[in-house]
Amino acid sequence: MSHDVFIHKTAMVENNCSIGSGTKVWVNSQVREGATIGKNCIISKDTYIDSNVVIGDGCKIQNSVSIYRGVTIEDDVFVGPNVTFTNDKVPRAFNQNWTISETFIKKGASLGANSTIVCGITIGEYAMIAAGSVVTKDVEPFTLVMGNPARFYSYIDKEGNKIDKRFDGHE
């Protein structure tokens, strides 16, 4: 762990995890062993980062987010307050042989407050998920989705502005 990482005194950071320089882990957060968090991230209060989760550089994980095994978050992703991730497609308390369904959040994506991300999907580069949405299938890059279940609303550019046609990330 880098010497310029800030870990609040109430946070619990287990051994054998990697936290990049400039990252801040705030009040009552837990980072499990094997987790990897990149440089210059903000891990806000009351968050849970499960074992073997990967979070890229420059991410902002807001209050009360739990990120479970099987979730990979690339660079510059915003995860709003109370976003919910899952990792089991058929959750049963009595299933001893369950398997993790991986979820991928691509570079620059934004997940709105209180959205639910069902496991086994990919959210594309610079996509935006509106607050309160339930995402049940892949989200294309540079699109805004909303609702329950989340559906295409508009194309967006890298900054998140609505545009008339599909944006490929190049000017």
List all residues 6 or more positions away from 123 whose beta carbon is below 8 Å from its beta carbon. Answer: 104, 105, 106, 109, 111, 117, 129, 135, 138, 139
For residue 171, pLDDT over 80 is answered with no
Average pLDDT score over residue span 18-38: 98
- Predicted confidence band of residue 3 (pLDDT cuts 50, 70, 90): confident
Q: What is the mean pLDDT of the chain?
A: 95
Residue labelled with tokens 């295409």 = 152
pLDDT tens-place string over residues 101-119 = 999 999 999 999 999 999 9
Q: What is the pTM of this model?
A: 0.94
Instruction: Please write the tens of the pLDDT for every residue from 69-111.
Output: 999 999 999 999 999 999 999 999 999 898 999 999 999 999 9
Does the pLDDT of residue 67 top 90, yes or no? yes
Q: In the prediction, which pLDDT does 106 show?
A: 98
